[in-house]
Chain A
Amino acid sequence: MRYFLDFEKPIAELESKIEELRQMSEAEGLNIADEVSKLTEKADRQLRATYAKLTAWQKTQVARHPERPKAKDFIRALITDWTPLAGDRAFANDAAVLSGMGRFRGRPVMVLGTEKGSDTETRVAHNFGMARPEGYRKARRLLELAGRFGLPVLTFVDTSGAFPGIDAEARGQAEAIARSIEACLMAPVPIVATIIGEGGSGGAIALAAGDSVLMMEHSIYALISPEGCAAILWKDGTFAATAAEALKITAEDLKRLKLIDAVVPEPLGGAHRDPATAIAAVGDAVQAALTPLLALDVAALHARRREKYLEMGREAIA
């Protein structure tokens, strides 16, 4: 059974009615094709109308949808010759960060992704996509490796943020994130980062300081979770929807603020309704972003990156 979000309830009701009718017609041999097609049309209209004007808070829920494709789904669909690589060479292998080499449309690439997991077992195994210092240190190691062998880097970001834990702090979470951002910015190879679900603050940008940053249509990219912001500024977590709106966290917002490069459209009703199509669209967008970057030599790439990041926030946007 599909998992429906609260605001999808009217659609869920229509769809379950359609399903009921179908089963009934099969069981009793009734011809109710007309009725079904009418309802299907209605459900489709409802879905289209709902998704055409999702609020920032609704997008937050879509971005966190349990059935939304996760980093490993993107890797499985887009990368051939997948060769996982593990470990920061100092402490551990952090399973919250997927990492390895492979081929993207024939070209060798390095791939990093934050993985939330898709059921209880995998969620726990991947620590719900919240990386510890060793995850960011592994990323840094592999960014440097990619640089030495000229592999472009693709990242798939989906995390609520870095893991807030005693052990993570003791091992220098802040330093690990800062170094990972630095490694992105210093890499002598192009980096294309895609926010596929939740882009949660420092833990996200550690893997997303790329030459080209893409966001899927219903993903979010935020300094702080709407709930966290509401708790601090409104002193009341129930103001999350208001905070989500104020924080400007949608792909459209980030594009308008010139903080990302492109928005990748999702299938009607969100990526969870048609993961294959959603992932294919990301593949095409990554290819389109990567191609012009491959033509740049290291000096040009660094100059472009420097200019890109130094300009952020300088321009007034009404």
Chain B
Amino acid sequence: MTWLTEYVRPKIRTLLGRREVPDNLWVQCPACQQMLYHTELAKNLKVCTHCGHHLRPLAEERLDWTFDNGEYTRIELPKVPADPLRFRDTKRYIDRLRDAREKTGLDDAIVVAHGTIGGQKAVVAAMAFEFIGGSMGAAVGEGFVAAARLAILQQAGFVCYTASGGARMMEGAVSLMQLPRTIIALDMVKAAGLPYIAVLTDPTTGGISASFAMLGDIHIAEPNAEIGFAGARVIEQTVREKLPEGFQRSEYLLEHGVIDMVVPRPQMAETLARVLSLLRRAELSQAA
């Protein structure tokens, strides 16, 4: 397959260019304000050791925590034309992109890797909230499509960690078209008889929620993640009502039947392994 030879090259940069040394060795928990020592926090998968709050990790940390022994191969994602609208607000979009790339060392708001989870082949796409709020433009759509194709090619389970404030406004309707685009890719995965698990993390709102985040065979959410379509402020202004307690949070969605389960981060990898093993079709299990 040409796209594979063209696009899938092991990423050596995975081990080299990681920029995660914090400026400060102490991190304040945004929920309980406790100061946490960063190595302790990292050991606890960025879950506050004091109150259990799930801090937002980097996309690459998701990969580290999900694959067996933290081993995986990142794939290089296809390039798409940057800045299709030549957009500028108070700043040029092309400059925002450049700044985000410099700051994060990522090309855009998604990383894709393959490896094993509980011994089973898996492709994981992790959205990077640290890159322009994890917003979805053509590059994120392209990354998701590439991940879906890789899962089919490898007959692997497909897992996506969503973390996104929504669509990338600076790509306008091009961004909107990523909704049908990613859904088409997902349907190819489903047609291939492979499981797709959406892991919803804080936040999963807007365009992401109205496409691949909500089309999982299984929906798993991290505790207390903000998940929803419309922004809370917009809703408040429209209905002029106070929003209910816990509105648009994981536990609220579980109660309303939108997701299957809420799983704390330290149990995520084992949960994924179990779900993937249960969803393996008989003929595939035997062939494996």
B243 at the interface (CB under 8 A from A): yes
Is residue A316 contacting chain B, with contact meaning CB distance below 8 A? yes
Also in contact, A313 and B178, with CB within 8 A (given A170-B256, A179-B215, A182-B187): yes
Interface size on A, residues (CB 8 A): 54
Q: Which of A169-194 contact B (CB under 8 A)?
A: 169-175, 177-179, 181-182, 184-186
Asked whether, in the complex, the Cβ of B257 is within 8 Å of the Cβ of A246, the reply is: no
A317 interfacial by beta-carbon distance below 8 Å: yes
Known: A224-B169, A309-B180. Contact between A202 and B210, CB under 8 A?
Answer: yes
* Contact residues in B for A181 (Cβ distance below 8 Å): 179-180, 183, 210-211
Q: Which of A193-223 contact B (CB under 8 A)?
A: 201-202, 205-206, 209, 221-223
Query: Which chain A residues border B81 with CB–CB below 8 Å?
Result: 313-317
How many B residues, CB 8 Å from partner? 59
B234 contacts chain A at the CB level, 8 A cutoff = yes
Q: Is the CB of B181 within 8 A of A313?
A: yes
A292 on the B face (CB < 8 A): no
Q: Which of A171, A186, A222, A246 contacts B173 (CB 8 A)?
A: A222
Q: Evaluate whether A182 and B177 lie within 8 angstroms (CB atoms) in the complex, with A166-B235, A169-B229, A249-B172 already known.
A: no
Minimum CB–CB distance from B206 to chain A (whole Å) comes to: 8
The yes or no answer to A312 lying at the interface (CB within 8 A) is: yes
- Tell me if B210 and A222 are in contact (CB < 8 A): no
Pairwise interchain contact B256-A223, C-beta atoms closer than 8 A: no
> Is A185's CB under 8 angstroms from B235's CB?
no
Shortest Cβ distance from residue B256 to the other chain A in the assembled complex, whole angstroms:
5
The proximity string for B residues 215-259 relative to A, scoring 1 for CB distances below 8 Å and 0 otherwise, is 100000000000111110011001101011001100010001110
CB distance from B151 to the nearest CB of A (A): 16
A229–B166 Cα distance when bound, in Å, is 13
Flag if A246 contacts B88 (CB, 8 Å).
yes
Given the complex, which residues of B lie within 8 Å of A112, measured CB to CB?
none
| A168: chain B residues within 8 A (beta carbon) | 229-230
Report A294 CB to chain B, min CB distance, Å: 22
In residues 143-176 of chain A, which contact B (Cβ within 8 Å)?
Answer: 162-166, 168-175
- Apart from A246-B87, A313-B84: 10 A-B pairs, beta carbons within 8 A: A162-B229, A165-B238, A174-B228, A182-B215, A202-B207, A233-B170, A247-B169, A310-B185, A312-B178, A313-B177
Instruction: Give 8 nearest A-B pairs by CB, closest first.
Output: A164-B230, A313-B138, A174-B209, A316-B81, A174-B229, A233-B89, A175-B214, A177-B210
30 intermolecular pairs with C-beta atoms under 8 Å apart: A164-B229, A165-B239, A168-B230, A170-B252, A171-B256, A172-B258, A173-B210, A173-B228, A174-B214, A178-B179, A181-B180, A181-B210, A181-B211, A182-B183, A185-B180, A186-B187, A202-B210, A221-B176, A223-B172, A228-B234, A232-B169, A246-B89, A247-B173, A249-B172, A309-B180, A310-B184, A313-B80, A313-B141, A314-B138, A315-B81
